[in-house]
Amino acid sequence: MGLLALGINHKTAPVEVRERVAFAPEHMWQALRKVVHDLSLDEVVIVSTCNRTELYCVSELEGSRA
C-alpha cells in the first residue's frame, strides 16, 4: 500500500500560490474523480480551506504514483 500526503499552507506559500491550488466546493467531486483516475488511486481526501490545501492519497497498486 502506498500513502501520499502533500499540502500547502499560509506558512509555506503566499496567498497568490494558495489561490491557484484551492478547490472550490462546487468542483470538489470532479477534482476527486480526476485525481483518482489520473493517478490510479484507491482513496483520496482533499482538504481545502482559505489557508491550506492538502491531499491524502492511498493506492493498493504496485508501482502506483502514490
Active-site entry in 1, 15, 17, 50: 50
- CA of 40: how far to CAs of 4, 10, 33, 46, 66, in Å? 13, 29, 10, 16, 8
Active-site annotation holds for 57: no
Catalytic residues: 50
